[in-house]
Amino acid sequence: MPYVTKSDLIARYTQTRLRELTDREAPYQGDIVDAVLDQAIASAASVIDGHLAARYTLPLAQVPALLTDIAARLAYAALFIDTCPDKVTADYQAAMRSLRDIAAGTVQLDAGAVASTEVSGGPVEVAASDRVFGRDNLRSW
């Protein structure tokens, strides 16, 4: 189940705007180019999965509205080739902050998202060799 769909993006950003951002090459199709939009959606999903993987079992059974919002912001920002308007940049940065908060555990997802019960190994042990230089063997220096 994707975090955001084409219809979600159309509802949020309008079909006209998405057509302008995706129909990039001649001969122009005069419509939203699904391949370009799908690439932006996949890019957003991979960023989200990278942040959620340590804390939640993926794929999620249900996509929380927060993740749909984050995915929409990330996908929309990915559609800009050269420069982004300040509003799009600010939305992208806010989405990334939200993902970092989710990954850190300061923001919890809805109950549909199952927290990972996977234990990541045991305690870390470090084994070091004996000292080569110490107080006793450097006294005469």
Closest CA to 9 of 74, 80, 89: 74
Mean pLDDT over 20-38 rounds to: 93
Q: Is 14 left (phi over 0), alpha (psi -120 to 50) or beta?
A: left
pLDDT of residue 137: 65
Token pair belonging to 98: 């939200």
Per DSSP, 139 falls in state T
Phi/psi of residue 115, nearest 5 degrees: -65, 140
pLDDT of residue 54: 86
Task: Decide if pLDDT at 10 tops 70.
Answer: yes
Average pLDDT, the chain: 88
What are the residue ranges of helices labelled H in 1-33? 6-13, 15-22
Mean pLDDT over 20-47 rounds to: 95
Task: Decide if pLDDT at 3 tops 90.
Answer: yes
- Look up residue 70 and give its amino acid: I
Q: pLDDT digit string (tens) for 53-109?
A: 989 999 998 999 999 999 999 999 999 998 999 999 999 999 999 999 999 999 998
Task: Decide if pLDDT at 127 tops 80.
Answer: no
pLDDT of residue 139: 65
Task: Decide if pLDDT at 9 tops 60.
Answer: yes
Task: Decide if pLDDT at 133 tops 70.
Answer: no
Q: How is the chain split into domains, by residue range?
A: 6-104
pLDDT of residue 140: 64
Token pair belonging to 78: 């990915």
Per DSSP, 71 falls in state H
Q: CA-to-CA distance for 31 and 22, rounded, in angstroms?
A: 8
Task: Decide if pLDDT at 121 tops 70.
Answer: no
Q: CA-to-CA distance for 43 and 38, rounded, in angstroms?
A: 8
pTM score, whole prediction: 0.78
